Amino acid sequence: MSRTDDSARGSFWRLAARLRGHLILSGVLMALGALSGLLLVAAAMALFKTLVPALGGDPGAAKQAWLLVGAEPMSWTIDAH
């Protein structure tokens, strides 16, 4: 085995060790992003549950609450056509 093969193999493992830290960091950041997404969905659901009784608790008020948060369920769009 030549000396260049040994140095190439050593540089590969140095690169792998350096990238391992970046991979761990990116995994942690992805987990935090997923957690923040779940918290955002939970906050939107809590907002919806508080808006429906505040608007009277009827289906029309539920539709208004959905429109306030910027979403429109598919059943309303299908029924409209």
Q: pTM for the complete prediction?
A: 0.45
pLDDT tens digit string along 30-50?
A: 999 999 999 998 888 888 777
What's the domain count of the chain?
1
The angle, 0 to 180 degrees and rounded to 10, between the axes of the packed helices 59-68 and 3-54 is: 140
Q: How far apart are CA 16 and CA 37, in angstroms?
A: 31
Query: What is the Rg, in whole angstroms, of the alpha carbon atoms belonging to the chain?
Result: 26
pLDDT bucket at 15, cuts 50 / 70 / 90: confident
* Domain range for 57: 3-80
Task: Give the angle subtended at the CA of 11 by the CAs of 5 and 16, to the nearest 5°.
Answer: 130
